[in-house]
Amino acid sequence: MNNHEFDMVWIHYKLMRRPKKYGSGVIMNMGILAKLYRQARIAIMEDTHDVDANCDGPDLDFVYADVDSYQNEIAELYSYTEFCEFQMNVKAFEDQMELYDLPPNWQKQDAASQRSIVMKLVDQLEVSDRAFRMQAARCILYLAQGCWAEVQSDEEQHQNTRDNVIVLYQLGVFSSFIDLLNMEIETACSPDIVAVKITNVTLVDSTDIRVILSVLYIITETIRDEREKGSEDYRQLAESFVQEINSPLPDGELLTVKLLGMITRFCSGAAPQFPMKKVVLLLWKVSLLGLGGMDVLKHLKNEYRVKVGLDPITEDTLEVTKCMRASSPPATATDILENQYPKRNFKRSLMKQRFLDEPEQIDMDQMGNESGPNANNGNNTSTGSGTGNGEDELSQYYRPFDDPSASTSGNNTGTTANPNNQPSLTQAAAAVPAVQITARLPWTPKVRQKDIDQFLDISRNKFIGYSLIGDHESLAGLPQPIHEGFKTLQRHMYVSLADMQIKKEEDIARNPISTHEDEIKLTPAEILYQAILPNLPQYMIALLKVLLAASPTSKSKTESINIMADVLPKKMPLTATQSTKLTVDMGRHKEIIVKAVSAIILLYLKHFKINHVYQFEFMSQHLVFANCIPLVLKFFNQTITEYVNTKNSIPLLDFPSCVIGEQPDLSGDSFVYGGEMSDKPYSWRNVFSCINLLRILNKLIKWKHSRVMMLVVFKSAPILKKTLKVRHAMMQLYVLKLLKMQTKYLGRQWRKSNMKTLSAIYSKVRHRLNDDWAFGNDLESRPWDFQAEECTLRACVDRFNLRRYPEATQKCGAGGGSNGTAAQNAENAQQSNMHAGNGSGNSGGDRDTNGYGNGSSGSGGTAGSGQQHQQLHDYGVEGGFPSDEILTHSDFAFFGHSGWWDRKVELTDYFKANYAVWLEEEVYNSQTDWDAL
């Protein structure tokens, strides 16, 4: 039965179920049936959105990149409350020029004079008088800002910044400001200072350190931008700068480690006045420039793959998603009828994903008794867009690298970028060339060697009756279809770089003497990993604490860290305009922090995964231990479309617009929000943050069944489904990946109620051959294997760290506080997680829409609910979502050690006295079946 017949029979069947209303329970009048069909058909073509209104509005034209534009990145460095400090920089420059007996105009100085002035300022940075020292620092900040008081346009200011940064870096300003930063850190962490400033921290308390961080950030961001543009005069300077930030400072630390240490001290309360926004922004740009962005990652991945004998990657996720369109599944006749006739209470059934018009199935000439304007319009519409075997409709859903189930949403926007996407009552079917109709999916299917082995094992047991352990190719005795299936699987087999690295580690562990280990290449990622390894658990917890505090869903509490210290002015606003500006500034401040922290974590994960998979796994473990998964879910537990569209910005107050030209009065009616002046219907940084967090969640959970169960336990499916409302292809892709991972655990009822989501997964996400993702038949879904899987991974990671970095690993293990408590908490939480998945999976009845046992499941459902509640309690969540106290442990450093089984155990005197009896009973008299082992 084709799709058209399915829908028509379904309508016929449902209407025949109501004989009282239609008078006869035998066969309905064909005219009534045809009328309903025409109405549904017209509604399908006129409707531009999904019937559930899941995706309102046009597609977002957001283009994912490493960073936003240079102007926006510089503007985000400053808070609106820092406006008065720009004049302080000019005043410091004028005073300094008067001291040198020079005119206070930088552009009138020749190159030699400019270099002489900078050298004098650098010397002044080393004086003991703090006020004199900071005056020189403000002069340098004014130069780095482009001498904005002497220009009339943003372009002139940008060009001045570009020229001045070259002079500043060549004369050692960057290194001098690093020394100033060290001095400020030591001063800020003084016990006397902390005791005074621990409460009521405001913008004034971080004045000096903000000047230093601003200069460092402007130099870093300008060099990064010019390097990305390929500027010839910046080429050598950029190479030297990258080498400098990837090398240890005179005190032996990397700049990245120093900035991470500042975040850790801030979160521990040792330095509450640190300006977190500037710190995380500088850390992000230093890491991005030192490690490399998306292009560098793609090049490194292919380079490493070729080195181990693998083929380069031809499909890049970011490139493929650029060719996708954000879409929702199309409306079918059943949806339209349910909307038009809500009182009929039609029960939603499994819905087909396209509705083909085949006029030969219904003779439209039989509709004479239903003649009228509507009937004629419906007939014309049906014949106009339904000829050619439905090619007109097929072209809506099937495009190269597009969603086969894409609806015709966005037709009312007036755009004509894709005319074939919208059917027209006057458009002829011949206008759509047949060559454009393609059913190609956006991704080439993949299969792992493990899946091929499983396929062969099942086939051998079925047809031959035995299995061949370790044999990956023998097909003797198997029928011809199995041969063909095996060849198909082999053609699509994909071996990842991580698989090769894991295999190498297994060979070294099995034969440590005979297996040759390659020399460790000191890549930027390797240098960074070795530097942060001793304190990596604390760094991850600190980053997540900052992310939690900046999350829009977090509740402000007195005991939480105060990330608003570098926003709140000393005097609170008095007028309504000032209050509104401060409110916008605080929201903007949080968004920028979320953007920077999410970019840092994702950047580290991607580089560590390419450098060595166990470095990636080590960082991932500590993110999971610090409850990163529920934290990200909590972030998305909001009206995400509002968050994406929120624009906490005032363009007139952004640098350099706030200081160049005549400034308007921002009082009363002239106060204009950024959302009213921007031509984009979204916030770039908010979309960027959402995609980063989704990518982080995917990386933590992919191929980790125990962590997939955490998604199920935390009821992430409805949260993720709400995120699909954002009309952006890349964001939808990563959400659908997360939903695909847990679909098999959500129950039959959930899958039945979310067929449109399953259709979107099928059309957008890569297919894994032999992956039974839509059903619960996978052999890997056994809950009792989850705990062993996580422990085995942890043992492999610890063995890797102990072999390659013994000293750093020992420091990492010794850095925690109450290690036993932390270990027990994490172990119990993981074990409780498995029990919760077990209980909900075997509840004895169907699950509700969230995948958990309903009230009819009896005692099994009650037990599963109790275990689920206990698991949520262990993870520090309330009501299924993380609370603000989930990141309170500072002793997760224990897990950086080789594991609890490596700890030295003190034997009791009683055991020592009865050691011989223990040997006799537990060792000598114990029978072990070695074959079974």
> Cα-flanking dihedrals φ and ψ of residue 445, to 5°?
-60, 150
Rg (CA), the chain: 32
Q: Region 156-177: what's the mean pLDDT?
A: 94
Q: How many CB atoms lie within 10 A of CB 183?
A: 14
Q: What confidence score (pLDDT) does residue 39 get?
A: 55
Contacts of 724 (CB under 8 A, 6+ apart): 54, 55, 328, 732, 735, 736, 757, 760
Per-residue pLDDT of 337-383, as tens digits, reads 555 555 444 344 333 333 333 333 334 344 444 444 443 443 343 33
Cα angle, residue 243 at apex, residues 238 and 249 outer, rounded to 5°: 125
pLDDT greater than 80 at residue 687: yes
The predicted model gives 376-402 an average pLDDT of 38
Tell me the C-alpha distance between 317 and 319, whole Å.
Answer: 5
Higher pLDDT, 299 or 471: 299
Among 308-322, 328-342, 634-648, 728-742, which stretch is predicted with the lowest mean pLDDT? Answer: 328-342
pLDDT at 481: 92
Calpha distance 807→798 (Å, rounded)? 13
Instruction: Summarize the confidence of residues 754-764 as an average pLDDT.
Output: 90
When mean pLDDT is compared across 23-32, 86-95, 312-321, 620-629, the lowest value belongs to 23-32
Q: Most confidently modeled of 101-115, 407-421, 523-537, 896-910?
A: 523-537
Pick the more confident residue, 511 or 361.
511
Instruction: Calculate mean pLDDT across residues 227-233.
Output: 88
Q: Is the pLDDT of residue 118 over 80?
A: yes
| pLDDT confidence of residue 271 | 87
Q: What is the DSSP string of 877-931?
A: EETTEE-TTTT----GGGGGSS-GGGS--PPPHHHHHTHHHHIIIIIIT----TT
Check residue 519 and give its pLDDT: 86
pLDDT at 744: 87
Q: Which of 256-265, 394-403, 650-659 shows the lowest per-residue confidence on average (mean pLDDT)?
A: 394-403
Residue 86 has pLDDT above 60, yes or no: yes
Say which residue, 405 or 741, is predicted with more confidence.
741
Q: What is the pLDDT of residues 900-924, one digit of tens each?
A: 444 567 788 888 888 888 888 888 8
Q: How confident is the model at residue 858 (pLDDT cuts 50, 70, 90)?
A: very low
Rounded (5°) CA angle 785-787-789: 65
Residue 17 has pLDDT above 50, yes or no: no
Mean pLDDT for 550-562 is: 73
pLDDT value at 672 more than 60: no
Segment 567-596, tens digit of pLDDT: 888 887 778 888 888 899 999 999 999 999
- Is residue 687 within 8 A of residue 644, CB to CB? The reply is yes
DSSP 3-state helix, strand, coil percentages of the chain (rounded to 5)?
65, 0, 35
The pLDDT of residue 782 is: 58
For position 269, what pLDDT does the model report?
A: 85
pLDDT of residue 384: 38
Which pLDDT does position 387 carry in this prediction? 37
Q: CA–CA separation, 694 vs 720, rounded Å?
A: 10
- Residue 678: half-sphere exposure toward Cβ, Cα within 13 Å: 16
Residue pair 598/689 in contact (Cβ under 8 Å)? The answer is yes
Report yes or no: 384 and 427 within 8 Å, Cβ to Cβ.
yes
Sequence-ordered list of residues with C-beta below 8 angstroms from that of 464, at least 6 positions apart, any chain: 477, 478
Contact status, residue 185 vs residue 143, Cβ threshold 8 Å: no
